[in-house]
A and B are shown apart, each in its own frame.
Chain A
Amino acid sequence: MAEPTVRLRTERLSALYGSQAAVKGVTLAFPVHTVTAVIGPSGCGKSTFLRCLNRLHELSSGGLVRGSVFLDDRDIYATDANPVAIRRRVGMVFQQPNPFPTMSIYKNVAAGLSVNGRLTRTETDAAVERALRSAALWDEVKDRLQASPLGLSGGQQQRLCIARTIAPAPDVLLLDEPTSALDPIATQSIEELVQELKREFTVVIVTHNMQQAARVSDFTAFFYLGELVEHDVTTKVFTAPAEARTEAYVTGRFG
């Protein structure tokens, strides 16, 4: 059976805080092995949208979701859907690196593995090494896997969080402004990593940095005031946008 081209898509997805709509009726598909950037001015709902994709939005106070999100053609918001199981297939990396402070580097990466069932020691070792290599962190930490993650730099901690997220082999990777708390060099290493990661995963990255979106993504979705304004191949969005609002944003007329 040929691999499907789209594993994650939304259909008329809306997200509310109480009665206030932060995301309004967004229909969007994420092709496999691509990076889709979600851009827009602050307050446009891009982070909220992202958090709907792994059912984190509903955990916020007053968080409500309408519409559907289809993962492999199954609506993750169906009444019989299990949010915990869904979050194992859709991983998320956050803006501030947040390694678990009471666990070693090794245990951090392995954290997501234990919830999926028991693995032997060798299997876990292999999975941890694989994840750390994919996150381009293995060489730097292989000699101190038992050390605390808090001794790592910001960029290294973020890569650790990425390793932690990809270790259980999710299908989709959601990155919520993963470099906004990092210095330029660390940012660059993460951006290179994202290009590598798309070989294995479907990646959605929220960023307020347009240049980053242009560098890193294949497709770009521009959000404004909760609505999806334009979604197209990245080069087209940045060089020849169809919508006036898109053009105004990417040319820096407002931010």
Chain B
Amino acid sequence: MANVRAVGWGDTAFRVILTVFAATIPLLFVALVARLTVSAWPTIRAFGFRFLTTSTWDPVANVYGAAPMIFGTLFSALIALLLAVPLAIGVAIFLTEFAPRPLRGPVGTLVELLAAIPSVVYGLWGIFVLIPLLRAYVVPPLATLLGWTPLFSGTFYGNSMLAAGIILAVMILPYISSVSREVLAAVPSSQREAALALGATRWEAVWSAVLPYARSGVVGAVILGLGRALGETMAVVMVVGNRHDLSVSLLEPGTTMAAVIANEFNEAAGLQRAALFEVGLVLFGVTVAVNAFARILVWRVARGSAVGSRAI
């Protein structure tokens, strides 16, 4: 409806009001970036690039380095992706290709229900169910078998990167799965049929015809999941241990950017607060970049529709 001229004040007023509402979005974005930068300026000026690479976080001496948090964010997200992606894509393939038709709706809804559970409830479950479970059944065998590797070294007190990674995996699974489903469903069925007509087995048809077609969309879904994992706060802060240490061991506690902000912001003042704002700025920058990249990938497959906006 490109050519409808505004005739009369009704049309103009309508458009102006709506434009104002729409303008809040870019305004919010700019305000966020500006506000975070301005508030972070004291530490940006004081530490410059070292902020991203040093590990000292000392409110008394007023020296701040965010390397442990940045590492923790990336590390926990990586664990989450390693656990969630195979499962999520498996679920998506199951639902679009193999599941009997009457099952698709209910099972799909159940998987999406995982996304409805609030982060703090995941954290609650993590503290009182997952961690005891890990402590009793999972970590002892892992520690005895693989305790010599750096990944499983150290003592397990409960709060750990492993717990955070597992919870994050459960939390991002529905997002990756639902976007992958939409992407896979958008693949024309003629692709699959062509492969089957050539004599492929059902799995081969999926693997060689459907998945490659949807590949960039699925990658986009994974990256969207990554974006989610990077920013999750409550569940992580409740199970990760909040220790400012950079350790590669899954069994040890750690911290993430989102968690440290949640933990320390209310008590912080002065330079520490600025440091937390800078952490927020870094986190914001990383999630914006990841989300933008993911959206571009998903848009390309689903042609600009709001795929994944509902889930996310």
Contact = CB atoms under 8 A, between A and B. Distances in A.
Contacts of B2: 61
Nearest to A61: B2
Nearest to A84: B7
5 contacts: A59-B3, A61-B2, A82-B7, A84-B7, A84-B8
A83 B3 contact: no
B7 A58 contact: no
A83 B1 contact: no
Given A60-B3, A83-B5, A84-B7, 8 more contacts: A58-B3, A59-B1, A59-B4, A61-B2, A61-B3, A63-B3, A82-B7, A83-B7
Most B-side CB within 10 Å, residue of A58, A61, A84 = A84
A229 B21 CA distance: 52
Interface in B1-52: 1-5, 7-8
A137 B245 CA distance: 79
Interface of B: 1-5, 7-8
B6 to A, nearest CB: 11
A63 B2 CA distance: 10
B151 to A, nearest CB: 58
Nearest to B5: A83
The B contact surface, by secondary structure, is loop
Interface in A53-97: 58-61, 63, 82-84
A58 B1 CA distance: 10
A134 to B, nearest CB: 29
Interface string A193-233: 00000000000000000000000000000000000000000
Contacts of B3: 58-61, 63
A82 B10 CA distance: 14
Contacts of A82: 7
Nearest to B4: A59
A172 to B, nearest CB: 20
Contacts of A59: 1, 3-4
Nearest to B2: A61
A13 B15 CA distance: 32
B286 to A, nearest CB: 40
A59 B5 CA distance: 9
B212 to A, nearest CB: 34
Contacts of B7: 82-84
A56 to B, nearest CB: 10
B101 to A, nearest CB: 28
Contacts of A83: 5, 7
Nearest to A57: B3
A83 B179 CA distance: 44
A116 to B, nearest CB: 14
A211 to B, nearest CB: 36
A93 to B, nearest CB: 20
Nearest to A60: B3
Contacts of A61: 2-3
A203 B5 CA distance: 27
Nearest 9 Cβ contacts at the A-B interface: A58-B3, A84-B7, A59-B3, A59-B4, A82-B7, A61-B2, A59-B1, A63-B3, A83-B7
A236 B60 CA distance: 102
A240 to B, nearest CB: 42
B120 to A, nearest CB: 39
Nearest to A83: B7
A84 B10 CA distance: 12
B53 to A, nearest CB: 54
A117 to B, nearest CB: 14
Interface in A167-215: none
Nearest to B8: A84
A173 B2 CA distance: 26
A10 to B, nearest CB: 20
Contacts of A60: 3
